[in-house]
Structure 1
């Protein structure tokens, strides 16, 4: 086999290995995002993550891995879009960023039961 064919075959194998590793990392990121959205009672929009950054990085043991940052969109009220991101080193979760939701700023003002138990009289309409 000539050396050009051997190099081409090795490049194709490396590309396939990168694709398979990226597929596994993306699935790990999706699992983390789905779990975080479920725990925070948020709606994951489009049910997907998009690769925003790919660069080399080192793990805790000093091994060289690919550091991937995925972006995704979620909604906290059902009628808005908010951006979040998840960072993976290999297939290991490093960070998950969900900006503060507006839901935490909302508070219950009153219910129908509260109107009957008010200590002050209701003004005529």
Structure 2
């Protein structure tokens, strides 16, 4: 049958060591896998990639980082928690009526849905 389409562990064809879906060697992980383990990439470069074919989106890629170079996630400090809460509140606050919508405002309208509906009805 031959080798899989995206098998390039030396990086000769794709520039990075490349593996097919679910065939990456141990010791490499995606950002999401690192985060689930309580780790972060810590500034390291991408070590390898996984490529796979998707019917709708074409060829997809997931970048892999070395687990042995990853560091623990920085703890959430009170100042960072306050800043995060303020940023999320700003994403929920309608610039037109000034109310907290209770959801992240759709970028399509830039306002809460009641304000968008009233603007559409007036037009």
TM-score between both structures, scaled by the size of structure 1: 0.22
Judging by fraction of residues, say which structure has more strand.
1
Task: Indicate the structure with greater helix content.
Answer: 1
